[in-house]
Amino acid sequence: MKSKQGLLLVAALAAAVTLCSLSPTQESKEPGFKNLKVLSKKTTKREMDSVMQEFKVALGVRCNFCHAASKDDPRKMDFASDANRHKEITRDMMRMTNRISKKYLEVTCYTCHRGKEEPLLAPERPIRAKRKSKH
Ligand code: HEC
Ligand code: HEC
């Protein structure tokens, strides 16, 4: 009797150990993003959400500014698709941002974009013209 219970316990423990060792590997595979060329292939879902949220806020746009609609169901987005040209522009912007941050100083998308699709390259109103109009 006793040894039978012992065996059951061992079997239960073994099952628990197998479950524990299985779940982490399953979790790390879970995000399975299909088309990453700049971000790490190991990017988790949580990390992806926060990067995409950052892009959205930095440019003042929605997900569909960079992502194409699904061909099967136009109400859904196909996040892995590269059909929207803004996605590839963004990859270049990500590489540039990483390079500036490594070589010079820490910058983010927001540093230049400030909530706009296209950053301003010059003051909105030429300073001189404004002065002239006063005289
Ligand atoms: C400014 C452009 C931009 C915006 C806005 C944006 N994304 Fe992305 N997204 C990208 C780029 C670029 C990649 C690919 C990154 C790479 O190649 O490493 C990507 C990749 C993804 C992926 C991974 C797809 C795969 O399987 O490869 C998901 C999911 C995703 N975006 C979701 C979102 C969601 C949700 C939003 C809105 C909250 C959003 N994105 C907004 C540019 C954008
Ligand atoms: C050093 C400044 C700078 C940084 C940092 C920067 N951008 Fe840009 N970005 C620009 C400028 C300037 C333009 C417009 C000129 C051009 O299109 O070449 C632009 C254009 C874009 C466009 C095209 C907009 C359009 O209307 O077609 C996208 C998309 C974009 N940036 C996304 C990003 C994202 C996402 C990041 C962060 C990963 C980022 N940028 C970081 C300066 C910057």
Residue 5 CA to ligand 2 center (angstroms) comes to 67
- Beta-carbon contacts of 131 under 8 Å, excluding residues fewer than 6 positions away, are none
The ranges assigned to domains in the chain are 42-113
Residue from 67, 90, 112, 118 to probe ligand 1 pocket by mutation (most atoms less than 8 Å from CB) = 67
d(CA 57, CA 113): 10
Closest to 79 (Cα-Cα) out of 95, 62, 94: 62
> Quick one: average pLDDT of 3-21?
50
**Is residue 39 within 8 Å of residue 87, measured between CB atoms?**
no
> What percentage of the chain has pLDDT greater than the value 90?
67
Instruction: Name the residue at shortest CA distance from atom 20 of ligand 2.
Output: 118
Residue with CA nearest ligand 2 atom 8: 93
Helix segments in the chain, DSSP class H: 2-29, 45-59, 85-103, 109-113, 127-134
Asked whether the predicted pLDDT for residue 67 surpasses 80, the reply is: yes
Q: Among 48, 66, 89, say which to mutate for ligand 2: greatest number of ligand atoms within 8 Å of CB.
A: 89
Average pLDDT, the chain: 83
| 3-state SS, residue 78 | strand
Which stretch, 14-18, 25-29, 79-83, has highest mean pLDDT?
A: 79-83
Taking only the tens place, the pLDDT of each residue in 81-133 is 999 999 999 999 999 999 999 999 999 999 999 999 999 999 988 766 555 55
Lowest-confidence segment of 15-19, 37-41, 81-85 by average pLDDT:
15-19
Q: What are phi and psi of 121, to 5 degrees?
A: -95, -10
CB 108 within 8 A of CB 97: yes
The pTM of the full predicted model, rounded to 2 decimals, is 0.83
